[in-house]
Amino acid sequence: MKYLYRIYQLFVVLPVLIFMTILMAVAVGIGTTIGDGHFWGYYPGRWWARVILRVCLLPVTVEGRENLEPNQSYVFVANHQGAFDIFLIYGYLDRNFKWMMKHQLGKIPFLGYACRKSHQIFVDKRGPKKIKATIENARHILQQGNLSVVVFPEGSRTFTGHMGFFKKGAFSLADELQLPVVPLTINGSFHIMPRMRDWHFANWHPLRLTIHQPIAPIGKGPENIQATMQQSYNSIMSALDPEYQGYVENPDQ
């Protein structure tokens, strides 16, 4: 069965992935030029992600959508198990949001173009001015209302399936804008394509996204940032599969 799935990926999934990525980039490029940038900056990506997961025959379960209020902006924070985290969140979170992503991703053909045109937030740490510009861009987007942002606070994908420590950038942003933070737990992505097997065949495995209760700010400043970060970490950890419970150091953090 494993080898049949690999043949299917080579002759079905790969062509669909290439076609859909180009189509998505073109749709975003044209749509954001002539229409509503927030609509075209989100929905083509959402459809792209859903098609890819369905073509890959990967079952998806989402828990906790009822925890979210309509027309409320959030800072979503998630554990980062693997490459398929992007498809899962983009396709199934069902909220209009922007990604906070490494600036290097903007150089990927077609995908990087779509990200730039849709005003995703590139995190650039090459000096204080670039860091400040990143925060200002995120603030500007979130203050427009009914838009959220998704961040992987570990900063990189896990090597083991376990979570590393969280960096405080997303929580500082939420504190500054006094927005609720929503923890997201991802399960299954590490089994499909772990970081050590980038550009290899994917493995079949169900995906599950757990949307936790929003964490409202308890004030403003370092105490609120630390409390929100710790509560988010605990919430995400609580819904991880038992084999990935507990902290394990991530070598590149």
Tell me the pLDDT of the chain (253 aa) as tens digits.
Answer: 889 999 999 999 999 999 999 998 889 889 988 888 788 889 999 999 999 999 999 999 999 999 999 989 999 999 999 999 999 999 999 999 998 877 666 677 766 777 777 778 877 666 667 667 777 777 777 777 678 999 999 988 999 999 999 999 899 989 988 999 999 999 999 999 988 877 789 999 999 999 999 999 999 999 999 999 999 999 999 999 999 998 888 877 7
Name the pTM for this structure: 0.91
Contact in structure between 186 and 88 (CB atoms under 8 Å): yes
Distance CA 246, CA 214 (A): 22
Instruction: Name the average pLDDT for the chain.
Output: 90
Q: Can you read off the two tokens belonging to residue 48?
A: 């792209």
Calculate helix-pair angle for 169-177, 222-238, nearest 10 degrees.
120
Strand partners, 209: 62, 186
Sheet of 75-78, strand order: 60-63, 207-211, 181-187, 75-78, 148-151, 97-102, 121-123
For residue 80, what are the contacts with CB-CB under 8 A and spacing of at least 6? 152, 154, 156, 157, 158, 186
Report CA-CA distances (Å) from 67 to 13, 148, 227.
34, 15, 20
Helices (H), the chain: 2-8, 14-34, 37-40, 43-55, 85-92, 111-117, 128-142, 169-177, 189-192, 222-238
Distance CA 177, CA 136 (A): 11
Contact in structure between 148 and 173 (CB atoms under 8 Å): no
For residue 14, what are the contacts with CB-CB under 8 A and spacing of at least 6? none
